[in-house]
Amino acid sequence: MAMGLATSFKSLLALGVGEAAAYPSNAGIAARWFPDRERATVSDLFDSASKFGGAMAMPLIVWMIAMVDWRITLLVFIYAENLA
């Protein structure tokens, strides 16, 4: 758990570093696995799916925080992310 501003900043920095490779990786997958005519569609699907996931997760997170403590919600999402 974050104990202060410095720990929170370090955690967010680590998250950003981990997520930074997502878009270049998606571009590489699209370039290798799909024909030239379909690459834009595949890239759009990758991009829209990431935004859709964030949009769907936010109401769920707010609901869970309202029903249970925020710490339990955090632990549930950390556990769920480790399953993926």
Please write the tens of the pLDDT for every residue from 70-79: 888 888 887 8
* The model's pTM: 0.53
Please write the tens of the pLDDT for every residue from 4-62: 777 778 777 877 787 777 778 888 888 889 898 888 888 888 888 888 988 998 899 99
Domain ranges of the chain: 5-83
Q: For residues 40 and 30, what is the distance between their CA atoms, to the nearest angstrom?
A: 8
3 has a pLDDT exceeding 70? no
Q: For residues 71 and 83, what is the distance between their CA atoms, to the nearest angstrom?
A: 19
